Chains A and B, each alone.
Chain A
């Protein structure tokens, strides 16, 4: 089963003053990542957005791997971003798709332990939405990011599940789907009462929620 993980950061919910303090950002990025920012990204991306971009990539990488390594601990300092390629435009308006062709995305390579993972991130003025995959092929990745009315955690959780079920009904009209939660916290998709052959990933932060999955054939 392939791995996938996603994350969203609502940018109006972050504390900019706190983020740019060394004491804060050094818990998320390490010196080599700060160097990547200073050398090639500083002209294009506010530092606080880079810090949260790194967070969203690392959190997505954790979700991608934790499904198969249940005892994995989320460790930003041990999840290292090696390359970052920013999009030409930061004002992407696409909020849903299959693959990222034609979408302005930030591409990155991230290492966690002996795993090399790949990410695509959409950075807008409102949010950063990342998807991490264990291959650099995202052409079949279904994703969606949506602003929802409530920032209540339970309502966010329900909203993103409804978004996914709606998409699955479009893709597989003859099948019944149900979403459960594993003992280890990640979502498990049941297709006609049997665990589906593809993992799904959910994320929500403040008023934004999104999912990612790679459907089977």
Chain B
């Protein structure tokens, strides 16, 4: 999968946890999950678990810590997919 494809698919992962639908439709690598998408920090683990399920990957502690903006989420998922 390309980074663009992962980024596009991530919209459906973020969707249940954000009310900022306009921002969600226009996310880019720099979009911050908390400050831009207004996702409550308590839902960050949900997003990691949902991404794990969607891509059938396991996201370890260190990788999960990096997932604070869209670009880092894409990077982590792309890396884990490559390792499969």
Contacts and interface: CB of A to CB of B under 8 A. Distances in A.
Interface of A: 9, 13-15, 18, 23-24, 27-28, 52, 55, 59, 73-75, 77-78, 152-154, 185, 205
A18 B40 contact: no
B28 to A, nearest CB: 19
B48 A74 contact: no
Contacts of B19: 152-153
Interface of B: 19, 34-35, 38, 40-42, 45-46, 48-49, 52, 61, 64-66, 68
B42 A55 contact: yes
Given A153-B19, A185-B35, A205-B40, A73 B65 contact: yes
Contacts of A15: 46
A167 B2 CA distance: 52
Contacts of A205: 40, 42
B68 A153 contact: no
A59 B42 CA distance: 9
Contact of A27 (B35, B64, B66): B64
B61 A27 contact: yes
B76 to A, nearest CB: 13
Given A27-B64, A153-B40, 4 more contacts: A24-B49, A27-B61, A59-B41, A75-B65
Nearest to B59: A27
A205 B19 CA distance: 14
Contacts of B40: 153, 205
Contact of B65 (A24, A52, A77): A77
* 9 pairs of A and B residues whose beta carbons are closest in the complex: A77-B61, A75-B65, A27-B45, A153-B38, A73-B65, A24-B49, A205-B42, A205-B40, A27-B64
